[in-house]
Every structure is written in C-alpha cells, then in structure tokens.
Amino acid sequence: MKLSRLYPILDAGFLEARALDLRLAAEQMRIAGVSLIQYRDKTGSSQTILRNAAVIREAFAGADCKLILNDRADLAVLAAWDGVHIGQGDLAPEDARRVVGAGRWVGVSTHTDEQVRLAELRSTDYVAVGPVFATGTKADAEPVIGLDGVRRARALTRKPIVAIGGITRENARGVIEAGADSVALISALFAEDEPAGKVARDFLDLLG
C-alpha cells in the first residue's frame, strides 16, 4: 500500500467556524491534484454526514482520489467511500474491518509508542501518529510527540505512517525525512491570503 504524501482533512467544524464552503474546498483539493482526502464531522447527524460525503464525492467524480470518512464505518459504506479512519475511542479496527470489508481502507490514530505497536498487529492499513507539533485544531489534543515520536513509530511498524499535528510548509519535509509516508493537514491548508488549492499544490510539490 502506498499513500499520497499529502492527506488533507476537511473538518466540518473547522470549515463552519471560518465560514468556508465545503464544496469549494473539495473542488480546490481536486484541482490541486489531491489523491487522498478525509472528511471529519464530529457533531453532525448521519444524514448531514452522508449529504456532505455526497458533495465531496461529486467534487472528486472522475478523479483518482481515495475518500476516507472519519469515525463512521457504517456511513463510509453507505456513501460508497473508500475507507474509514478511526480513533482510539472509536470502533476496534477488527470491528471497523468487518463493517467496511476487505476492499476498503481502515486507518487508525495513535498517540503513544504502545498504540503504534498494537496498530501494527491489528487490522489496519495505515497508522496515523501525532500530534507531531502543537496544534490548535483539537481542543483535547494529546501531548506532542515531536519528530522523535515519528522516528520511533517508523521503527515500530511496517505499515504506512501518516503524521498529523502542526505541520506546515516549513516543517513538512522534515516530518517525511523522520519516517512518515504522508502528512495530514487541516488548518495549514487554509491560509488567510492564499487559496487552499494553491497551498495544497505547494505541499504536493514540496513533498514530491
């Protein structure tokens, strides 16, 4: 399994707080050439999540892009998306796998070395590690792991690693060099004076 170097996350709460349009954001990601994207909505109803998933799927119609839904394995199947990303408090990876089936991806968030070790043994396709740097996107963020945490994770798993948390154009290359296969971004995509698509393109060019 090979991950795209760039893994944008369209977070419903983040977009709403900044009056950003979901469809426009998705279209900008497609134009930039994004080939892996996640939609995250921690508070929306099932109907809202499915409706927004359809908007994103329509924006990426005809593009070679993996669509990953956060938390909801059942809705990932109903939306005909390509996989689910789960956290430590969500479904167990094996349960998520039973829901989505063998043909879809299951990714898992980890925040400690022990969680990475367990993810290596479980039914997951990739392992997210972080927060690498301080981040303001999540109010309940776990302690920062730093680049050393990425290096330790690389030594603990053979699965692809997605690094998340406080990653910018200035430090993203160092995160890849520390052992990550991909970097996940939320707030860094939406600079005040630059279109999100241009920022995504910058990251894709930078990461190679």
From the candidates 4, 5, 35, 40, give the one annotated as an active-site residue: 40
Please report the DSSP string for 88-104 in residue order: TTS--HHHHHHHH-TTS
d(CA 50, CA 46) in angstroms, rounded, equals 6
Contact 41, 12 (CB under 8 A): yes
What are the angstrom distances between the C-alpha of 40 and each of 113, 125, 158, 176, 194?
25, 19, 26, 24, 23
User: Is 109 an annotated catalytic residue?
Assistant: yes
Residue 171 CB neighbours (<10 A): 15
Is 40 one of the catalytic residues?
yes
Catalytic residue among 138, 151, 169, 173: 138
What distance in Å separates the CA atoms of residue 21 and residue 189, rounded to the nearest whole number?
Answer: 14
Which of 4, 35, 109, 182 is labelled catalytic? 109
151 is catalytic: no
Question: Two tokens at 5?
Answer: 């170097």
DSSP 199: H
Q: Which residues contact 187 (CB under 8 A, 6 or more apart)?
A: 14, 135, 136, 137
Q: DSSP state, 144?
A: P
Query: Which residue type does 80 have?
Result: A
Provide the annotated active-site residues.
40, 109, 138
